[in-house]
Structure 1
């Protein structure tokens, strides 16, 4: 893949779900996060909330809420890196401005190695590489000029497009039955009212279980990254290439 000097990458993510001798506790995760304060001074809990409703025989509706802390979200002082430490694994995000995969992966490598040692990870259960792109185009243009995947308007119902969202789930059978790509595309708010921000979110993942072998893990991650590049190139047109070269 060609290197683009103005790549439209808003966020790049490497995500790993791991198996452990004993699943990490939130307390242990928080203590470990505190040891990383020099690199990631901002910290907050990752919580999930659930709301359930039930109807009694008398027709009265009651509700119950439950919350669970899944881990800790850490942010660098510049806000350009985000590290999520979870009971199931970890993810590392490279925010704008994006540099390159090689340096991003090398940043992640010691983070992963230290996490594995600290929490005694024994296996990798899921690996993912996700790139969220925002491509800014003039308001009212034909999206087919920029993307090879875009919504088709229905006859003469309306010529104006104010918003859309579409998702493609694409098994990557040539890589193996464990490989899948999910491509999301849609419109987002743009800073300029005369422009549109087109979302192109590419998430490629593998559910093959691997032993906690660093070389094997990185071989798969590089494979996922290459497939992400192939999908990106297939999704954009030469017009976008000229914009970001």
Structure 2
């Protein structure tokens, strides 16, 4: 018996280009704690100077919870403190969340393609490195959230190759579901979080549901060399595409303008 072939990322394998892509949000995220304290007023001024094309700057706040437990009277303390900034560009289709643990860069309106998105993310990342001076990057992730409208009379199998599990004994399909799977990519330093869920359509009629396919490819072995970083991003993007296009049907592809 021959051994199973080893998986390999193959950049010669091409994926369809979609004119009506279901991408709701695309994210590149660096988990890279700052090596120095960031001061709110000073940081806002520096961001304004370095990123004039991101004029919308809003402070973000986190909640710190502390419980003191003296013998006579335990106390629950809650403190709100500044944690960073949320920046938007003039067109309000790019969002950068800039805080003391790293950055998350998102495309939140019609996805324009990988190269523009990646290059802009790297520009924001380089600004973060300059201002925050992180000593290490603990995690790099490429995440794409897809939203597909499903009509009431349509089956999930119209869009997904693998249907949700049917209930044994009654042999009925779930009205709603939430599946989350985590995978380690053999031979590569990448892991994958895959979420598939169905939820009511918040913007349309009650006769539609929204199928969410959330693919997060990430690594904890992040290169600090620009050329290697580009390679890692390309590999993670390939994995994201491989997962998505391997799990949706030809009918879905036609609907998305393949």
Compute the TM-score of the two structures, normalised by the length of structure 2.
0.81
Unpaired segments of 5 or more residues in structure 1? none
**Whole-angstrom CA distance in 2 between matches of 1:104 and 1:166:** 28
| CA deviation after TM superposition for structure 1 residue 87, in Å | 1.0
**Whole-angstrom CA distance in 1 between matches of 2:60 and 2:75:** 27
1:213-228 equivalences in 2 (<5 Å): 213-228=225-240
Out of 178, 185, 190, the residue aligned to residue 196 of structure 2 is 185
For 2:18, the equivalent position in structure 1 comes to 4
Deviations 1:172-195 (A, max 9, x none): 12313xx11001111233213222
3-state SS, counterpart of residue 27 of structure 2 = strand
Out of 16, 38, 41, the residue aligned to residue 52 of structure 2 is 38
**Whole-angstrom CA distance in 2 between matches of 1:55 and 1:189:** 43
Alignment CA distance shift 1:167-1:68 (3 Å)? farther
Out of 31, 43, 68, the residue aligned to residue 29 of structure 1 is 43
1:56-95 equivalences in 2 (<5 Å): 62-95=75-108
| CA deviation after TM superposition for structure 1 residue 127, in Å | 0.9
**Aligned residues of 1:151 and 1:164 also touching (Cα < 8 A):** yes
Structure number with higher strand proportion: 1
Out of 211, 227, 230, the residue aligned to residue 198 of structure 1 is 211
Out of 210, 214, 222, the residue aligned to residue 223 of structure 2 is 210
3-state SS, counterpart of residue 138 of structure 2 = strand
1:58-207 equivalences in 2 (<5 Å): 62-155=75-168, 157=170, 159=172, 161-176=174-189, 179-190=190-201, 191-207=204-220
Unpaired segments of 5 or more residues in structure 2? 1-14
3-state SS, counterpart of residue 67 of structure 1 = strand
Alignment CA distance shift 1:116-1:201 (3 Å)? same
**Aligned residues of 2:25 and 2:109 also touching (Cα < 8 A):** yes
Deviations 1:125-183 (A, max 9, x none): 2111000000112114221231134421314658474422111111112313xx11001
**Aligned residues of 1:48 and 1:69 also touching (Cα < 8 A):** yes
**Aligned residues of 1:71 and 1:86 also touching (Cα < 8 A):** yes
Out of 29, 44, 48, the residue aligned to residue 15 of structure 1 is 29
Alignment CA distance shift 1:205-1:192 (3 Å)? same
Alignment CA distance shift 1:149-1:141 (3 Å)? same
